[in-house]
Amino acid sequence: MTTGALNRLRVLELAGIGPTPHAAMLLGDMGASVLRVERPGAPAEQLPSHVLRNRTIVEADLKRDLDRVLDLVECADVLIEGFRPGVAERLGIGPEECLRRNARLVYGRMTGWGQQGQRATTAGHDLNYISVTGALDAIGPPDTPVPPLNLVGDFGGGSLFLVVGVLAALVEREHSGLGQVVDAAMVDGVSVLAQHILEMRAQGRWSPERAANLLDGGAPFYRTYECADGRFVAVAALEPKFYTLLLHRLGLARSALQEQYDRAGWPVLAERFASVFRTRTRDEWAGIFAGTDACVTPVLTFDEAVHEPHLAARGALRLVDGHVVAGHAPRFGRSVAGVPSTGAVHTDLATALVDWRSSP
């Protein structure tokens, strides 16, 4: 078991995929006791086991075992679910019933579209949720938007906002003594994540064209470059003092180049940088820029990143059972959390209920 800032918190997770188990993982990493309720015979391979770390798992048929699951609700501080709107209510474990049994419960709901609205009951995935917010249209080369994995919708706009909402509701509960429902929708979270870009648009500092802006690959000093070995480096020398260091290490004279923020000269400047970066391998450039403030770093694969000295020293990534696994975040000064080598412990409903009722 782990200890941490949420050491005495009991979280009941109704099994799902994507952001809901990821949110439960984060809460478990911070020390919460997380009990995941899965339907009988649920495929174990549905999720990587390390997403299910710091968990106790029980199987329960919500129709046959509903009363016993609701007994768990009475002991819980938090419940999180990722069903479509109305499904939890039809199963008899919606927020009204749960809060009637446990007025201090924080009931976290994770969806793509939210609990209300024209799209609320329709299917979707990360790519759909970020497409309607405008975020997807801003990502990629000029000719096509590019899916940014499922980091932006599922996890950035999804699980992280669910966790923030749950923790905020727990803080409020200390004053009111009452729980509440947290409606976390990916379309809401992604929109909030995009506020910095929206602000730049409002100030006239963001073009609607992709790859034409400061932070989308348009700026020659904020993009990736291919090296002699076909690998890449990331360049993020936004500030003039860092840009000066970039030019120095590249062996380029500022007087012979366009001004850094002269957008008209960006295409020529980008090609000049590209031609220089193609003269050495990625790791050679990494050595040249190591220890400087030029903001140039190698683009590593996950397998390489786990051995990167800084990340390895922090435990940000680690090898567990031969697989690359994320560490825990954020860090706390007085509490300790660890990532166990196994994903979860399986038990039965009766034992889980006894354990929760007997725990402080």
Catalytic residue check, 175: no
Among the listed residues 29, 126, 154, 183, the single catalytic one is 154
Alpha helix positions (H), the chain: 19-29, 66-75, 87-91, 95-101, 126-132, 160-176, 186-193, 195-202, 240-250, 266-277, 282-289, 302-305, 309-314, 349-358
**Contacting residues for 35 by C-beta, under 8 A, at least 6 apart:** 10, 11, 12, 13, 55, 56, 57, 58, 72, 76, 352, 356
How far is residue 57's CA from residue 256's CA, in Å, rounded to a whole number?
64
How far is residue 15's CA from residue 87's CA, in Å, rounded to a whole number?
13
Is 240 in contact with 261 (CB distance < 8 Å)?
A: no
Catalytic residue check, 29: no
Given phi > 0 = left and psi -120 to 50 = alpha, else beta, which region is 56?
beta
How far is residue 153's CA from residue 161's CA, in Å, rounded to a whole number?
10
Q: Which residues are catalytic?
A: 125, 154
